[in-house]
Amino acid sequence: MFLEDKIAVVTGAASGIGLATAKAMIGAGAKVILVDRDARAMDAIAEQHEGAAIPLVVDLLDPDACAGLMPRLLEIEGRLDIFHANAGLYLGGDLVDADAGAIDRMLNLNVNVVMKNVRDLLPHMIERGCGDIIVTSSLAAHFPTPWEPVYAASKWAINCFVQTVRRQVFRHGIRVGSISPGPVNSALIADWPAEKLEQARAEGSLIEAGDVAEAILFILSRPRNVTIRDLVILPSNFDL
């Protein structure tokens, strides 16, 4: 229960890594505000966790809704200890086949929204002199993955953002880090090439969202003088 009395926010909390992380944080004692646009899924989660999970329906791709996120969070609980910027989209395949609108949506959510959310919450954390920010990145941020050039580029950008912002705010007692999972068994990789997805499942080269959530708890459990800047977690069979 090392997160007892902590207020956490998880974006993209209705499924996948976000949902697993929210549940893990609740299990460690935190109260978690679930940010997602899937109201039905979040209501079901909140019902299961008796007040420890608070649903907040927000479409982060809506500029006004995104700009209003931080005021709404403070209105709910008055403070914020942990922010997990997890919401994201995936776009794979050959660049020449990519839809221009899909590229815009993915880059907006994976990069711009994260930057704006962190910018908006920093004054609150700086004033309090503490806080944890964790961004869901990807193994693709560390390797130029040929089957997902747009997605990989978004994660390379966000890793740079994490590392530079960390150096700006560590003096205020704020830790900024990222978690970089390899392929996770979730809907996010549903549009992988069919043969690649089938091969990954057959070889056991996928990890579960719960594995990523446990790694995030490890990051949060370090002493305050220790920052995990980037933690890569991948299936043991990934390199086969």
Question: Is 90 one of the annotated active-site residues of the chain?
Answer: no
Report residue 194 as tokens: 């069919």
Give the β-pairing of 82-85 and 131-136.
Answer: parallel
Catalytically annotated residue among 83, 90, 151, 156: 151
Q: Point out the residues that are catalytic.
A: 151
